[in-house]
Structure 1
Amino acid sequence: MDIIELVKAAVFGLVEGITEWLPISSTGHMLLLNQFLTMNVSEDFWNMFLVVIQLGAILAVCVIFFRRLNPFSPSKDKAEKRDTWLLWAKTVIACLPAAVIGIPLDDWMEANLGSPFVIAAALIVYGVAFIVIETVRERRADRALAEKGARPAARHFSADVALEPASRSELADEDARVQSLEELDWKTAIGIGLFQVLSIVPGTSRSGSTIIGGLILGCKRTVVAEFTFFLAIPVMVGASGLRLAKYLLAGNVPTTMEAAVLGVGCLVAFLVSLGVIRFLMDFVRRHDFKPFGWYRIALGVAVIAWFALH
């Protein structure tokens, strides 16, 4: 066993576990990391590894939300089981646009849109989108606060302190049309699924595109964050299964070292995802998504500068 390669796999698993759930593009970060940290594996294995490592991350969703996602839980009454089946139905239906459009374009996207400059452009564009959308919600909250006789907060980084009767961030969520997953109607679920199609472009971020879609369509931040996690299950399982099948059908057989690399990557992605998912759910209860927008812009600019100079 080559310990160095296993350490590299662990680093990729760490990056996958962090970036898969934060709206900052996991594939974009993985492709950029590969520019600086290259594993000693075949090209076919690397292309498969880049997708299948997501299975470790998705397992964390299944563990954390097991009760909510389990329609057979003995602790649920009939109504709760019905709601769980409806949630699964909405999740699967919302994933169909990404499957119908993404699967035929998978090879073309991989061959033509994996350059650092495409990734950087997507990082910046959707970073700006996050800031614009949250600013619009903030201004609506200011108006709502004014109507309730409260003084709008100053526009600076410490503005997210508690206000009376509520902070702008909290008030924006209170005014959201969809306050819970049970209130998520079919039209909104499918709309979020259509936004998910945008993530086929590297650097966009699957979670970023669905979160932006959910906010535009009137969802509370925690609602769209949870639904984003659930959408990942069929999408990632399907994408990983497809990529693994293509890898094996092409006559590839992973070496013992490559199998170990994949196992370590998935395990680390799973463990890191457990913490990141909990962090994000706690974060969005009190904060907006602007910090992720600024991060995307800064990273996109840094990527353009780095590759332009090198």
Structure 2
Amino acid sequence: MSYWHAFLIAVVEGLTEFLPVSSTGHMVITLALLGIPTTAFTKLYLVVIQLGAILSVFAVYWRRFFQSINFYLKLLVAFLPIVVVGLLLKKHIDALLESVTVVAFMLLVGGIVLMFVDKWFPQEEPTAGGHPVTTPNYKEAFIIGLFQCLAVVPGVSRSAATIIGGLTQKLTRRAAAEFAFFLAMPTMTAAAAKDMLDYYQENPALSSEQIKQLLFGNAIAFVVALVAIRVFVGFVTKYGFRVFGIYRIIVGGILLIMIALGINLNLV
């Protein structure tokens, strides 16, 4: 994988990590379109550069991380379901990462869901006792964590699943999006750590060139995600999710048509 490829993948990651369009799905598509074969390092790269993107969450919301201990306990409660599911289904998840067909189908299905989210959860601020719900309680955090588990399937979108989970618990759009950002930090850090451990158990140590590519990819993803977070929160608060649903349907539909025409997009 060249630095140009590493750059493009990192830009895609930074742009899509916090959008409800599936960052993993888009990176898999990018690999397929660029003709980059699936290797142990390529799979590792896709996960590890997400650390750069999620560090942008701390850069934007760093004050929120110096709140009460309850903030971290709620994140822990929301994080636990994905730990269990991830450990149980790790091999199956890795296999799905090689299928653009799965990504395309889930982009399409997820797009249809997003077309109705604004109707199911209208713009009016959900309230509890007359006040906007901006922070989940422990039960709500756990339910949001269960929704996040849907994102183990590439193309579903961790952000979309988690945000919708927050909306079902009467959080405002902004609050649901921000909690999804916060939950990404332990989730993606754990995923990267697990992938690094698995890589070192089955492969030679990373070369200096591979380490440089990982650092380069994280830096690019961090900068791009920094901008994407600010734009997304403002956009979704004002306009909702319909545009993301349309985008997903178009992309998923095009990919499925290409596959139906015999164009091989699956990674090898």
TM-score, normalising length: structure 2: 0.92
Give the whole-Å Cα distance in 1 for the aligned partners of 2:73 and 2:134. 13
Whether the aligned pair in 2 keeps the contact of 1:133 and 1:216 (CA below 8 Å) is no
Aligned partner of 1:21 in structure 2 is 18
Aligned partner of 2:102 in structure 1 is 118
Whether the aligned pair in 2 keeps the contact of 1:225 and 1:281 (CA below 8 Å) is yes
Aligned partner of 1:179 in structure 2 is 132
Aligned partner of 2:236 in structure 1 is 284
Match of 2:74 among 87, 90, 100: 90
Whether the aligned pair in 2 keeps the contact of 1:116 and 1:304 (CA below 8 Å) is no
- SS of 1:65's partner is helix
Whether the aligned pair in 1 keeps the contact of 2:177 and 2:233 (CA below 8 Å) is yes
For structure 1, the residue ranges without an aligned partner over 5 or more in a row are 71-80, 139-168
Residue 133 of structure 1 and its aligned partner are, at CA, apart by: 2.3
Answer with 99-108 or 224-233: which moved more: 99-108
Give the whole-Å Cα distance in 1 for the aligned partners of 2:146 and 2:226. 27
Residue 252 of structure 1 and its aligned partner are, at CA, apart by: 2.1
- For 1:34, give the aligned amino acid: L
Residue 284 of structure 1 and its aligned partner are, at CA, apart by: 2.2
- For 1:16, give the aligned amino acid: E
TM-score, normalising length: structure 1: 0.80
Residue 217 of structure 1 and its aligned partner are, at CA, apart by: 2.3
Aligned 1:1-310 pairs, distance under 5 A: 5-39=2-36, 43-70=39-66, 81-82=67-68, 85-112=69-96, 114-138=98-122, 169=123, 172=124, 174-177=125-128, 179-182=132-135, 184-309=136-261, 310=263
- For 1:110, give the aligned amino acid: D
Whether the aligned pair in 2 keeps the contact of 1:123 and 1:297 (CA below 8 Å) is yes
Residue 39 of structure 1 and its aligned partner are, at CA, apart by: 4.5
- SS of 1:202's partner is coil
Residue 246 of structure 1 and its aligned partner are, at CA, apart by: 0.8
Residue 216 of structure 1 and its aligned partner are, at CA, apart by: 2.2
Give the whole-Å Cα distance in 2 for the aligned partners of 1:63 and 1:266. 14
What does the per-residue CA deviation read over 1:232-289, in whole Å, with 9 as the maximum and x for residues that have no partner? 0100000000001111122422222222221111110000010000111111221111
Distance 1:54 1:113, change over 3 A: closer
Give percent identity, aligned residues only: 37
- For 2:55, give the aligned amino acid: L
User: How many residues of Structure 1 are paired with residues of Structure 2 in the alignment?
Assistant: 260
Residue 211 of structure 1 and its aligned partner are, at CA, apart by: 1.1
Residue 181 of structure 1 and its aligned partner are, at CA, apart by: 3.5
Residue 120 of structure 1 and its aligned partner are, at CA, apart by: 1.3
Give the whole-Å Cα distance in 1 for the aligned partners of 2:178 and 2:96. 32
For structure 2, the residue ranges without an aligned partner over 5 or more in a row are 264-268
Residue 112 of structure 1 and its aligned partner are, at CA, apart by: 4.2
What does the per-residue CA deviation read over 1:35-59, in whole Å, with 9 as the maximum and x for residues that have no partner? 111458x711111111111111011
Residue 136 of structure 1 and its aligned partner are, at CA, apart by: 3.0
Whether the aligned pair in 1 keeps the contact of 2:126 and 2:133 (CA below 8 Å) is no
Give the whole-Å Cα distance in 2 for the aligned partners of 1:117 and 1:227. 30
Structure showing greater radius of gyration is: 1
Give the whole-Å Cα distance in 1 for the aligned partners of 2:251 and 2:167. 23
- SS of 2:239's partner is coil
Whether the aligned pair in 1 keeps the contact of 2:118 and 2:241 (CA below 8 Å) is yes
What does the per-residue CA deviation read over 1:107-154, in whole Å, with 9 as the maximum and x for residues that have no partner? 11211464122111111111111112212334xxxxxxxxxxxxxxxx
Give the whole-Å Cα distance in 2 for the aligned partners of 1:53 and 1:121. 25
Answer with 239-248 or 122-131: which moved more: 122-131
What does the per-residue CA deviation read over 1:14-33, in whole Å, with 9 as the maximum and x for residues that have no partner? 00001101010011000111
